[in-house]
Structure 1
Amino acid sequence: MKTTVACRMIFKNLREYLAWLYYQYLLITGIYVLEPWEKSIFNSILFSAIAMVIYTSYVFVPIHVRLALEFFSGVFGGQTKSTMTLMN
């Protein structure tokens, strides 16, 4: 009995916190004054842009970090790859 009451309170508090966060989002972005169809278009564009930034970061940042590490290891005297073949 006590666990179900505690779970309900947790979910109620979580729901209220998420509603508060959404309200803050509406106030900060100023979209609380828009009509529902305008809100959906704004949210679609915003979340699409965020998704593209996350995907681009996931794909391209590791490549650039590796290239930067190779460059700086060469600049600061690190071992470079040898292009000479081994001779017997």
Structure 2
Amino acid sequence: MNFKNLREYLSWLYYQYLLITGIYVLEPWEKSIFNSILFSAIAMVIYTSYVFVPIHMRLALEFFSKIIGDQPESTVALMN
């Protein structure tokens, strides 16, 4: 893929973004504000996912491992 095709493809993607969001009818300063808010929200979601999802996954794993975990020794001794 050469540079011209890549540039045209990115231009087409940007045009699709403008059409889907409906911001093609806005003035340039309104587009800037909309894009800034949108990309800030996306960045916050990505950062929050990166920071907090591993913590919650670890806590959930500990919780379910205690529920499903090994049986106490007294129960194992009774079954033999």
CA RMSD in angstroms, aligned pairs only: 1.3
1:44 to 14, 36, 41: 36
What is the number of equivalent residue pairs in this alignment?
Answer: 71
- 1:14 partner amino acid: L
List alignment gaps of at least 5 residues for structure 2.
Answer: 72-80
Counterpart check, 1:13 vs 2:5 = yes
The CA distance in 2 between the partners of 1:21 and 1:78, in whole Å, is: 53
Determine which structure has greater relative contact order: mean sequence separation of CA pairs < 8 Å that are 6+ residues apart, divided by chain length: 2
Match of 2:20 in 1: 28
- Counterpart-to-counterpart distance in 2, 1:78 and 1:70: 13
Q: Deviations over 1:47-72 (max 9, x none)?
A: 00000000000000000000000001
1:78 Cα shift?
4.2
- In 1, distance between residues paired with 2:70 and 2:29? 57
- 1:24 and 1:68 map into 2 onto residues whose CA distance is 40
Residue by residue, what CA displacement relative to the aligned partner does 1:11-55 show, whole Å, maximum 9, x if unpaired? Answer: 000000000000000000000000000000000000000000000
Task: Normalising by structure 2, report the TM-score.
Answer: 0.85
TM-score normalised by structure 1 residue count: 0.77
More helix by share: 2
Runs of at least 4 residues of structure 1 off by over 4 A? none
- Distance in 2, Cα, partners of 1:39 & 1:78: 58
Q: Percent identity?
A: 90
